[in-house]
Structure 1
Amino acid sequence: MAPASQDGLKVIILGGGIAGLTTALALTKFAPQGKVPKIDIYEIRPEPATVGGAVNLTPNALRMLDHLGALSIMRENDYGKTIDYLEVFDVYTGKLAESDFQGPDKKGVGNPPYKALRITRGDALKAVLEAVRKQDNITMTCGKRTVKIDEQKDSVTLTFEDGGSATGDLLMGCDGIHSVTRLKHVEPERKATYSGVSNAFGFAPIDPDFKVHFECTAINFARRGMLLTSYHNSKMDSVYVGALMQVKDVGSRDGWKSVGADAEKTRAQLLERFGDSKIPCIIPLIEKAQDFFLWPVFTLTKHGKWSTDRVMLLGDAAHAMPPQGESTGIVFEDTVLFSRCLTRWIEKGQPGGNMREAFDAYEKLRKSRIEVAFEESKNVVSTVSDAGWLGHTIKTYVVPWFLWFTHGYRYKHFMEDVTTVDIGY
């Protein structure tokens, strides 16, 4: 239990999703002794959203969650399914490659070692929420819609739709790709654009004797998209079925909501795209999946403004991109690195009361990594876009080569611990 100190900063976080919650945990954990911040989280939804697909938490992501006190909660509740390696298939010809998380001794990557964990977004959020509730310096209020952000030299004030307000020393915009913090204050002209691909997902309950073609998790490439099939709990009685595929832009958020709500139309589209698969379990898994959802994948431009003098954007609010396998881990690293930069600034005596020094140090440290991730995400979009037989055949040769060629780079990143990396100032 971390009590807030009267000498600590008063921090406002917009967004009660996993980015906002882990930011609160990181600011608490890495605060200087005796200067734990008072943190107020405001979430627009009436309650935290514990619905969604399943994500792969890579070793670096698990390392951060362990530092923040959430991984032990996941393990205590038996959330998720440990992933030794990811298998890659061509749905017409069979297995192409593997990407493993086991390390040379099969125990995991790094010291201490971590493998990967496939977990539903809901379970991940529940674990982080439980970690947050253990900290009495953190409060969360749901159902708060921000209508105005007013930044002064020494404070920032939010005005809510219900007439209430909140004032703090620092505002963290952790409110996702359609961030109010960005659109109302930091960079209003930087709006999200549709990437051209959408994510369709559901969960297929299976019997113990149901045969699948993968050990834990598999990426299945077809001519018209990619289908992820994966266990997501230790019982292995359910398979996450998630497709990334090229879908024509509907044109509006309300239009996407309408299209995404038609589960049977989404199922029919997946059966059309992957119905010629030679892997026997693909069609039954699509047919068994319950409550299919279709979500458009939005992105931001590669370069953009992340901050003002007292407001900082983190996660998708700053750098949303198509999924490239490490998106969630990148968010956790954001929160830890920023918290360490802010702590260093506090320890140096808050020169002039200007946070710009901490902000600049964080952005200098982080932007190069994000730019690399952006380029990786472009490859994902092109790989899952519709292709003819020739284009798909070329893809089946390129993907294994790419995994082999980038193996060392991925392992280096999986081993990194941003709690100890030199922050440069």
Structure 2
Amino acid sequence: MVMIKRLSTVDADFSAQLDALLAFEATADEGIERTVAGILADVKARGDAAVIDYTQRFDRLTAAAMSDLELSAGELRAALDGLSGERRAALEAAAGRIRDYHQRQKLEGWSYTEADGTRLGQMITPLDRVGLYVPGGKAAYPSSVLMNAIPAKVAGVKELIMVVPTPGGEKNALVLAAACLAGVDRVFTIGGAQAVGALAYGTQTVPRVDKIVGPGNAYVAAAKRRVFGIVGIDMVAGPSEILVVSDGTGNPDWVAMDLFSQAEHDELAQSILVCTDAAFIDRVQASIAKLLPTMPRQEVIRTSLADRGAFILVHDMLEAVAIANRIAPEHLELALDDPAPWVEQIHHAGAIFIGHYTSESLGDYCAGPNHVLPTSGSARFSSPLGVYDFQKRTSLIQVSPAGAQTLGRIAATLADGEGLPAHAKSAEFRLER
């Protein structure tokens, strides 16, 4: 039996209990930070040689040169062609849906001309080169390849460099097939902080990128934090989360499995049920007891639910929505018979899964929207990964002779007020006397 915390909004200390439940601080491990700092400095100084050394040490690969660690387009194509018909069809269907959804996100430039002829606007351009980190070995995520690479290609990124560790030479065919489908340009079988360093600084073989995206372990996360500013990064994500809001109308087995779907990621993942019906919470608890023994990752799920999971009983849907907005979850399921009236009441969530038939797992793989989502409450100010993360906005300003007379006087006055006389003179020189 899994002992899952039970909270109720009628509890006098409910707010404090909820804060304690949600508390998660990704405190930096000093040992990891020191190791990562040393690796990054070494890669910056020695380039290819350092990357090869660390790859041989950590991934048990023998490489005389970086060319030994780069996969050809032919190898990627062979991986795709070697898939079973069912797997290839599923991968292609997911890629098609993801591409179709993200095509609609593409930003376009705009401009307008004022009465005096001054033109103002915004130009949209793609990033030149992006690095995609993909976990390798047994922890292989072809869905992450599609979710990161396809929006970049839709945005018009000129070159996409993928790095994926292959410990002991273990390559995952689905990951390589996904890279082929998504249009990845180059693939290096390197990982860890050394791969992040190679992408951020560039080496003799690995080109320097403008942005690094994709998930990784604690060393990868620490490396991404350290190189931010030299390159852009997508985010430093926390543990996976799901919040299911229920009015007691659903199938308790479905809800239990949806909670499992995040809990199985790792012991720090968080699965919470907010419900207006105490009897339904009991039914979900019974479903958990029934279904958990059938799960291959039951010990991970058990620990996750016991340590960070919760059932929260609320008075009504207004309270449920208020709590959902306070938590700002990565994944929010509205497991309701009539969810439509409540969707627009949700202000903070990475993704909203609407209705009983919309399991979060569909969003992870094939619904279309991106599964790279803000965690740890950052949905209050962050958005899912999208095409816009691979595009830049540049302001356009073309002032007419007539506009310079009006704007010049305004700018000169404000510049004088700030004590910047060269600014003022720069504007005044263009004024007609």
In proportion to residue count, which structure has more strand? 1
In proportion to residue count, which structure has more helix? 2
The structure with more radius of gyration: 2
Same fold (TM over 0.5): no
TM-score (normalizing by structure 2):
0.29
